[in-house]
Amino acid sequence: MNHIVLFEPLIPQNTGNIARTCAATNTPLHLIEPLGFSTDDKYLKRAGLDYWHDVDIRYHSDLDHFLSILGDEDHLYLVSKFANKTYSEIDYQEKGNHYFIFGKETTGLPEAFMRANPEKAIRIPMNDQHVRSLNLSNTAALIIYEALRQQGFPNLELTHHYMNDKID
């Protein structure tokens, strides 16, 4: 199973948009505190629309608490523009859970944590001469859908059904 993990998110709209992606993909969402907003925030709910009840949200008091839940067969990926490997180089079909951790919008993941785990870091290629970073919710969607694509989109509808769609 895939999991999206947000380290100390600050912008409620990003978290709401990511929650919507989680609802659409059956992906648990882990929030590492402290959060920069209340989960009752109107912007958070607006971005997530009516999907909050469909999201498996798990709260963690800090990074160490989150790390303590990982098992031996679990895979942790640190998403950072400073990584050497691209997200598309990874085989997401390996056994175990896949946890994608995204850093705080302003400062990313803690530097010491990144330095201790460079082999787990992945990035999305981009022209960083003009753009500092990609939007957090766009990045989370792009990476979770690549993992799901490699896994054959488990438990997701692969055909689209249109209302009143008839073949005569």
Per-residue pLDDT at 49: 56
Q: What is the pLDDT of residues 102-161, one digit of tens each?
A: 999 999 999 999 999 999 999 999 887 777 788 999 999 999 999 999 999 998 877 766
Residue 33 lies in a domain: yes
Per-residue pLDDT at 54: 85
Strand ordering across the sheet containing 75-79: 57-60, 29-32, 2-7, 98-102, 75-79, 121-123, 85-86
The boundaries of the domain holding residue 110 are: 2-150
Do the Cβ atoms of 17 and 137 come closer than 8 Å? Answer: yes
Residue 157 lies in a domain: no
- Provide the number of structural domains found in the chain: 1
Per-residue pLDDT at 48: 52
Per-residue pLDDT at 89: 94
pTM comes to 0.89
Domain CATH number, residue 70:
3.40.1280.10
Residue 155 lies in a domain: no
Q: What is the pLDDT of residues 18-50, one digit of tens each?
A: 999 999 999 999 999 999 887 775 665 665 556
Residue 168 lies in a domain: no
Res 98 pLDDT > 80 = yes
Residue 65 lies in a domain: yes
Per-residue pLDDT at 26: 95
Buried b (16+ CB within 10 A) or exposed e, 98-137: bbbbbbbbeebbeeebbeeeeebbbbbeeeeeeeeeeebb
Residue 163 lies in a domain: no
Residue 159 lies in a domain: no
Residue 161 lies in a domain: no
Per-residue pLDDT at 43: 61
Q: What is the pLDDT of residues 61-80, one digit of tens each?
A: 999 999 999 999 999 999 99
